[in-house]
Structure 1
Amino acid sequence: MSVDYKSKPKSKIGLDYLGLESNENVFWNLSPAELYEQAILRNEAILTKDHALRVLTGQYTGRSPKDKFIVEQSSIREEIDWGDINQPISEDVFENLFEKTVNYLKDKDLFVKDLFCGADEANRLNVRVVSEAAYHGLFSHNMFINPSREELEDHEPEFTVLAAPHLKADPEKDGTRTSTFILCNFEKKIILIGGTLYSGEVKKGIFSVMNYLLPKKGVMAMHCSANHDENGKTAVFFGLSGTGKTTLSADPEKTLIGDDEHGWSDEGVFNFEGGCYAKTINLSRENEPLIYATTQMPGTILENVVLDENREPDFDDVSLTQNTRCSYPLEFIPNASASGKGGHPENIIFLTCDAFGVLPPISKLSPDQAMYHFISGYTAKVAGTERGVTEPQATFSACFGAPFMPLHPTVYAELLAKKIRKHNANVWLVNTGWTGGAYGEGHRMKLAHTRKMLSEALAGNLENVEYSTDPIFGVQIPTSIEDVPSEVLIPRNTWKDKDAYDAKAKKLAEMFIENFKQFEDEASEELLSAAPKVTVNG
């Protein structure tokens, strides 16, 4: 091999706990340049025109949530919110697949990265990623926090990702759903991945672990972006895909703490990651200049992005997948925080793209309303090209990240509410969707108006303005904001047909109530009282 891996810094903990102590082909903690070399030599990747690394992940260009399981064990059985998301699987199935994976990897070249998840030293997790793919090593280097050489020597992995992307399970013999498997064993502290090269499984697997461990310590785990201003005032932005979470938090006048995963401890907010994993569909220099610039930097991974004959990325080409991505270190963003930390949030923003045109463009929530909307995690997807589909589709994802939350949503909601009350944080519901009518009749909220409303809220300029109460959703709506037309603030006033608005608002309220039924058994009376005030038909 061209790399002298024996001279690389390594932990005092070997691979014997995985049963891989006999493997002599182990590459320990290679640098990005060395991982570049290995990924290209192994035909895992090619260089773009600007020397970023382009990887094709094959059959799987996104996560495989139906192939993701948690090993059911007595120590966690009563804690996990079992269901379609947190699917149980037996210890016997895990042990069989673990043995199969270890036997498969015993004579393979392995790439090991010892890392941290969490910028807060008191709440970080020592992570080890072991994979047969050099590309996974570079991805892990980008996405997690890299220890110093001295820290590496004392690094003891607390959770290990063991990835064999080219090993396929036999569903009939191995007890899996398909040939792909993502298994999390909390007692053995191992995430086992097979049959998929998609690197998002590595990142989100550890995120799910953090979301299990941190609430036990009183630390809130959040699927959100975060920034702070020059005075250190921190804001966090929750939101599902398409709501503007990345766009609105990426303010060049503020310091970016992180764009996806954070914790909120007694000391403040901290980033889990050391990098970003951004979507690149329709990415352009004009609309997202900071992210676009990273795609031209050596060290960035472009995942499933189509290249032209000159190896120039074509971000508008979605022939491989709409889930094209780029992974890069946070330091590639000029205004990124060096520490990955911020103070206690003074403002918390829930972003929703309401295609029904019902929710106000900005409104203030009480702590109970914050819990209710946090658990609901609402946005709306616009109807596609399917014939006969004319209505937008409501989408609810608990905690704005249900696929990564092992505990019951009320655990996270109650912890969030506790911190909101303790630190007197303002909570805002911001609708980046439609106004003046539903999708197809009204129009999308002007970005300039949304930015102005957010800017005024974050600056504290909405503290002393007049508010009105929405009669159905009960949220507080400011009646005037500088440079924003007053009629925009009250959604009913933007509709020509007021009766049509009332009917649509009632319909959306019923959707909220119907969705929340699944949480009622665990919800307090105060939380239930924050529901929209409407009677569901039938």
Structure 2
Amino acid sequence: MSKYLEFNTPTSKQALELASDFRLKNQGLTYLDRVYWNLPNEALYEEVIFRNEGKIAKQGPLIVNTGKHTARAASDKYIVLESSTSKDIWWGSYNRPYAHEKWSQLMGRLQAWAQGEELFVQDVYAGADPDYKLPVRIITEKAWHSLFVRNMFVTTNNKDELKNFVPEFTVIAVPGFKVDPIYDGTRSDTGIILNFDQRTAIIANTLYAGEIKKSVFTVLNFLLTFQDVLPMHCSANVGDKGDVALFFGLSGTGKTTLSADPKRKLIGDDEHGWSSEGVFNFEAGCYAKVIRLSAEQEPQIYATTKRFGTILENVVYDPVTRSIDLDDDSITENTRASYPLDFIPNVIPEGYVRSHPKNVIFLTCDASGVMPPIARLTPEQAQYHFISGYTSKIAGTEIGLGIEPQITFSACFGGPFMVRHPFEYSEMLKQRIIKHKANVWLVNTGWVGGRFGVGKRISIRHTRNLLNAALDGKLDNVQYRKDKLFGFEVPLTCPDVPEDVLYPESSWGNKDEYWKKYDALAARFNENFKLFEKGCSQEVINAGPKRLLQIK
């Protein structure tokens, strides 16, 4: 801002009060105009409004618009190819190699671009467990991104701790800096580029704040595996008896909604680690989809949209009354709320527990409408379905998605963020499931009675009742049937759930069409798993579905 005009902003005089002695010049960023260090939320609000980066809505949440990027630019993510880590990385469409010499050129251009700019710094921690927390410095061009960082990661108010802070990884988020496809070797003028050797990531030319949190998640997905911690794209909660439940799933499958259970305490809503001691949250906040959110169905999350400190991304509001409209998707289907975890009642304030999961739930949004609403898996089936990661991408969560859900297989229920080969993560999961005798459930939060556009999405009330029964042990002693194609066990009855719900074919008018669709889905599973068969045991391969012709 003051690169062109010299004037003070609301917090100019306090900009250095909470600065680390390890300054940005030590990281190659020199001749900057002013750096705002570790500003608290209230100060960042003032800066956001002063810089016209956002508006204050009724009751205090901050409204921001992310421009052309209303979702992750998944196709623009790269990892620098260098000798110290190259053999451990799962190279492919999710982890595109980026030339080391190109990185040096790019960093040089960024350093030149930053001269004369004002930047914001938050020195935070990724990982709530003190035994595994990673000191991360997040440098942002925008004040509201700095507030987002404070919402999402573990902060400290200790002035001495901030003074002596030295990052072990640095993320630089600069939406005003464009990469050049010709010069920088990128796909477009947007880039998310991670360098594990230099312990630095650059997020260029996107305002979408989700790129910041997902970049840190990607970093932890790599580094923690070398400390015998399983990184997981899941939400987690815990019951009164210390029974932890994990909820795996892509955005839009219900991780946040289903884990926010008033009868259980929330550990976190999106990203966790499973260590030898227990489960811990990677973050200190939530980043929930809020499109068509209602006070009746999701009261806890809905309440956060009315609070000071919450950031509402791309939510439509009335500029006169400042009232928000959560039903309006005219900007994007992927409207988001970022808020501190303690905005939700019944949370674990420490962000970690010293106990292990008793139930692991794989949430799949089946757009074809053929999967049962719940099924129990063996350890080998669990490994197979974890590697497969079957679900449907929901409109708006990635650039290029239309209204109709897109059937997809996302390894480990978070393929874009998995740096190592999925088999590595699946082996770690299987070992923990067996060691701690955890039940594994496949839960369909998608469609019944037909595919998308024909059937309807399964009632969240039924899904909650099924999950409650599983978590409370009420499905331990009921009778099960073996699924004809997939071989997993489906309960015949469940308290407070109509029996016909447990038979998905019963809601289809044409049973032959149902079995054709189910068989086609089995074929897609088999075809997808061919990508992962190398390195998997025969038991895991055999845990996949059979085709109708094979069982007749």
Q: TM-score range by the shorter chain?
A: over 0.9
C-alpha separation in 1, matches of 2:301 and 2:497:
29
| 1:19 pairs with one of 25, 28, 34 | 28
Query: 94-103 or 165-174, which moves further after superposition?
Result: 165-174
User: After the TM superposition, which residues 53-132 of structure 1 pair with which residues of structure 2 at under 5 Å, given as runs?
Assistant: 53-132=62-141
| 2:473 pairs with one of 457, 460, 465 | 460
Name the residue aligned to 2:431.
Answer: 418
Residue 293 of structure 1 aligns to which amino acid in structure 2? A
User: After the TM superposition, which residues 436-515 of structure 1 pair with which residues of structure 2 at under 5 Å, given as runs?
Assistant: 436-439=449-452, 442-495=455-508, 497-515=510-528
| 1:338 pairs with one of 333, 345, 349 | 349
User: After the TM superposition, which residues 160-175 of structure 1 pair with which residues of structure 2 at under 5 Å, given as runs?
Assistant: 160-175=170-185
Query: 313-322 or 14-23, which moves further after superposition?
Result: 14-23
Alpha carbons of 1:434 and 1:303: their partners in 2 closer, same or farther (altered >3 Å)? closer
Alpha carbons of 1:518 and 1:59: their partners in 2 closer, same or farther (altered >3 Å)? same
Residue 451 of structure 1 aligns to which amino acid in structure 2? R
Give the CA deviation at 1:352. Answer: 1.4
Secondary structure in structure 2 of the residue aligned to 1:518: coil
Secondary structure in structure 1 of the residue aligned to 2:36: strand
Alpha carbons of 1:76 and 1:142: their partners in 2 closer, same or farther (altered >3 Å)? same
Secondary structure in structure 2 of the residue aligned to 1:38: helix
Give the CA deviation at 1:175. Answer: 2.3
Name the residue aligned to 2:380.
Answer: 368
C-alpha separation in 1, matches of 2:406 and 2:140:
39
Q: Is 1:30 aligned to 2:39, yes or no? A: yes
Number of residue pairs aligned between Structure 1 and Structure 2: 533
C-alpha separation in 2, matches of 1:382 and 1:138:
27
C-alpha separation in 1, matches of 2:334 and 2:456:
26
CA contact (8 A) 1:5 1:26 kept: no
CA contact (8 A) 1:356 1:504 kept: yes
CA contact (8 A) 2:90 2:420 kept: yes
Alpha carbons of 1:334 and 1:393: their partners in 2 closer, same or farther (altered >3 Å)? closer
Name the residue aligned to 2:269.
Answer: 259
Give the CA deviation at 1:290. Answer: 1.7
Give the CA deviation at 1:148. Answer: 3.6
C-alpha separation in 1, matches of 2:199 and 2:241:
40
| 1:215 pairs with one of 201, 221, 225 | 225
| 2:329 pairs with one of 305, 318, 330 | 318
Give the CA deviation at 1:244. Answer: 2.1
Q: Is 1:291 aligned to 2:304, yes or no? A: no
| 1:48 pairs with one of 54, 57, 66 | 57
C-alpha separation in 1, matches of 2:468 and 2:348:
20
Spell out, residue by residue over 1:377-424, the C-alpha distance to the aligned partner (whole angstroms, 9 max, x if none). 11246999xxxx9x9753211111111111111111111111111111
CA contact (8 A) 1:18 1:102 kept: no
Residue 471 of structure 1 aligns to which amino acid in structure 2? K
Query: 257-266 or 242-251, which moves further after superposition?
Result: 242-251
Alpha carbons of 1:307 and 1:357: their partners in 2 closer, same or farther (altered >3 Å)? closer
Give the CA deviation at 1:260. Answer: 0.6
C-alpha separation in 1, matches of 2:199 and 2:394:
40
Structure 1 vs Structure 2 CA RMSD: 2.3
Residue 493 of structure 2 aligns to which amino acid in structure 1? S
Q: Alignment identity in percent?
A: 52
| 2:194 pairs with one of 179, 184, 197 | 184
Secondary structure in structure 2 of the residue aligned to 1:519: coil
Give the CA deviation at 1:106. Answer: 2.3
Alpha carbons of 1:500 and 1:252: their partners in 2 closer, same or farther (altered >3 Å)? same
Alpha carbons of 1:520 and 1:301: their partners in 2 closer, same or farther (altered >3 Å)? same
Name the residue aligned to 1:156.
Answer: 166
Structure 1 residue runs without a partner (length 5+): none
C-alpha separation in 2, matches of 1:480 and 1:240:
28
Give the CA deviation at 1:28. Answer: 0.9
C-alpha separation in 2, matches of 1:471 and 1:465:
19
Give the CA deviation at 1:448. Answer: 2.6
Spell out, residue by residue over 1:345-395, the C-alpha distance to the aligned partner (whole angstroms, 9 max, x if none). 1000111122333222211101110011111111246999xxxx9x97532
Residue 362 of structure 2 aligns to which amino acid in structure 1? F
C-alpha separation in 1, matches of 2:458 and 2:433:
28
Secondary structure in structure 1 of the residue aligned to 2:531: helix
Secondary structure in structure 1 of the residue aligned to 2:90: coil
Residue 427 of structure 2 aligns to which amino acid in structure 1? E
Secondary structure in structure 2 of the residue aligned to 1:528: helix
| 2:413 pairs with one of 397, 400, 424 | 400
C-alpha separation in 1, matches of 2:393 and 2:169:
36
Alpha carbons of 1:70 and 1:348: their partners in 2 closer, same or farther (altered >3 Å)? same
C-alpha separation in 2, matches of 1:510 and 1:477:
20
Residue 332 of structure 1 aligns to which amino acid in structure 2? F
Residue 363 of structure 2 aligns to which amino acid in structure 1? L
Spell out, residue by residue over 1:64-122, the C-alpha distance to the aligned partner (whole angstroms, 9 max, x if none). 12221111111111111111111111111111111111111121111110000000111
Residue 42 of structure 1 aligns to which amino acid in structure 2? R
Secondary structure in structure 1 of the residue aligned to 2:179: coil
Q: Is 1:229 aligned to 2:203, yes or no? A: no
Name the residue aligned to 2:3.
Answer: none
Residue 58 of structure 1 aligns to which amino acid in structure 2? G
CA contact (8 A) 1:32 1:141 kept: yes
Secondary structure in structure 1 of the residue aligned to 2:530: helix
Residue 479 of structure 1 aligns to which amino acid in structure 2? L
Spell out, residue by residue over 1:179-198, the C-alpha distance to the aligned partner (whole angstroms, 9 max, x if none). 21211010000001221222
C-alpha separation in 1, matches of 2:185 and 2:239:
51
C-alpha separation in 1, matches of 2:217 and 2:368:
32
Give the CA deviation at 1:462. Answer: 1.8
Secondary structure in structure 2 of the residue aligned to 1:520: coil
Give the CA deviation at 1:27. Answer: 1.1
Alpha carbons of 1:535 and 1:76: their partners in 2 closer, same or farther (altered >3 Å)? farther
Structure 2 residue runs without a partner (length 5+): 1-7, 397-401
Secondary structure in structure 2 of the residue aligned to 1:278: strand
Give the CA deviation at 1:507. Answer: 1.2
CA contact (8 A) 2:80 2:193 kept: yes
Alpha carbons of 1:45 and 1:16: their partners in 2 closer, same or farther (altered >3 Å)? same
CA contact (8 A) 2:16 2:35 kept: no
Alpha carbons of 1:133 and 1:476: their partners in 2 closer, same or farther (altered >3 Å)? same
- TM-score normalized by structure 1? 0.94
Name the residue aligned to 1:347.
Answer: 359
Give the CA deviation at 1:492. Answer: 4.0
C-alpha separation in 2, matches of 1:356 and 1:157:
46
Residue 271 of structure 2 aligns to which amino acid in structure 1? E
C-alpha separation in 1, matches of 2:119 and 2:194:
20
Residue 338 of structure 2 aligns to which amino acid in structure 1? S
CA contact (8 A) 1:513 1:536 kept: no
C-alpha separation in 2, matches of 1:67 and 1:245:
25
Q: Is 1:247 aligned to 2:257, yes or no? A: yes
CA contact (8 A) 1:355 1:381 kept: no
CA contact (8 A) 1:436 1:494 kept: yes
CA contact (8 A) 1:61 1:304 kept: yes
- TM-score normalized by structure 2? 0.91
Residue 364 of structure 1 aligns to which amino acid in structure 2? R
Give the CA deviation at 1:24. Answer: 5.6
C-alpha separation in 1, matches of 2:449 and 2:329:
32
C-alpha separation in 2, matches of 1:207 and 1:536:
42
